[in-house]
Amino acid sequence: MASSSKNPLLLLSYASIVALWVGSQTVDINYVANIMILVTSILYAACHLSLTLREEQALARGEVPPKEDGDDDGGDDDDEEEEEERPQYDTLRAVDAMQFPLLGSASLFGLYLAFKYFDKDTVNLIISVYFCLVGLAALTSTFGPVLECLDFKFLRVEYTRSVSVRHPLPKFIGGESPWVWKLNCIVADILAFIGSSFFVCRYFITRHWTMNNVMGICFCLQGIERFSLGTYRIAAILLVGLFFYDIFWVFGTDVMVTVAKSLDGPIKILFPRSLVEDPVSGRLDMSLLGLGDIVLPGFFLALLLRFDAHVAKLPVFPTNIHASFPKPYFHSGLLGYVIGLSTTLYVMIVFEAAQPALLYLVPACLGSSLLCAFVRGELKELFDYSEEEEEVNEEKEEEEVEENEMKKTK
């Protein structure tokens, strides 16, 4: 049964993220412990946020959320507004999963060539502008809901404004009606945007590692929350492909390491080994973990958590990210991730060389989830579980065809 109380582990994960971000600026925290606790907290929080995907999948199947008292007066207009305000989610297809390592390789090698043949500062400037724009949206989307949780009525005051602009084209090519923009937000969203602008501007000006980490953490939270791998099969295809991708680009060439060290952008989370600056370079000695080593396994863990919710028959409407239900697949997958990441750090320290994290994370995550399914006797259910939009729409069309045929026979 779902519980209406708050999930203490979810609240603890949020608190850990904030505490480590603040504490690592003033206290020498062991960087291995910092990495393990921060990344685990990010994954736990982001995967639970992804439970909201179940509502989107239910709506795609044609399910209608139960209306509360007083909701009937709004009519279709309210439904249209809710549909516009609802966050958009993406689902990976099998062909995308197979192409992903190839496209990733092309992008990685393209960045390598850019840093090799063009001015490094210019390349970093262009990339920084892009990440700042994307980061502004990610930070606003992260901070907004946090502010809404505060028990202040003024934060929920709604602000609506419509702006119309005359179409610049002649009437005979579609310039008859004006363009209309409608802004609909609450005070919490406005304050979140202002706060996000401060973080983004400070990052752009200073390139400080703390601002880098704020943006990186928000990218992880938003990415995992809004993306579905579709099925376990697709997830396995993607992870296995990235397993070989990571090995090749780290062990086979210097491309991955060169790009990671040259690219000055929030594509990694930085962990200071010591707060004492190097007397020669004037910089802190940093360890780093790429966002891909968090987000990509995070997609997989989020899929396992939603499968747990499916097996537990957790109510879809309304989605409660604090709901209490059995999570054997998520916990086993998260344990596998922790073991894989620990192994990565151990090998990195022993051999004093960069390691492809997915070399250890992929077998650990896939192996732990498959072992859990085998022990529970649910291998078929795990492989049959699907969140693919196309499959959902096809099933809906088949049902409509069957209904029409039945009507004709009657």
Domain ranges (residues) in the chain: 8-62+87-120+225-409
Distance, CA of 271 to CA of 51 (rounded, Å):
29
Active-site residue, from 119, 121, 285, 293: 293
> Are 221 and 294 spatial neighbours (Cβ–Cβ below 8 Å)?
no
- Taking phi over 0 as left and psi of -120 to 50 as alpha, with beta for the rest, 160 belongs to beta
Distance, CA of 55 to CA of 228 (rounded, Å):
13
Residue type, 377: G
**The pair of three-digit structure tokens given for residue 278, joined into one six-digit string:** 């190097």
User: What digits encode the pLDDT tens for the residues 214-272?
Assistant: 999 999 999 999 899 989 999 999 999 999 999 999 888 889 888 988 888 899 999 99
Establish whether 293 is a catalytic residue.
Answer: yes
Which sign does the torsion angle of CA 345, 348, 352, 353 carry? negative
Measured CA angle at 266 (ends 265, 269), to 5 deg: 125
Contacts of the segment 288-293: beta carbons below 8 A, 24+ positions apart: 288/260, 289/35, 289/39, 289/357, 290/260, 290/357, 291/216, 291/219, 291/220, 291/266, 291/267, 292/242, 292/267, 292/358, 293/341, 293/357, 293/358, 293/361
Q: Measured between alpha carbons, how far apart are the two ends of the chain, in Å?
A: 42
Distance, CA of 214 to CA of 135 (rounded, Å):
9
With a cut of 70, list the residues of the chain below it in pLDDT.
1-4, 61-89, 154, 159-184, 389-410
Establish whether 151 is a catalytic residue.
Answer: no
- pLDDT mean across residues, the chain: 84
pLDDT of residue 3: 46
User: What digits encode the pLDDT tens for the residues 43-84?
Assistant: 999 999 999 888 877 777 666 666 655 555 555 555 555 444
Active-site residue, from 77, 246, 264, 285: 246
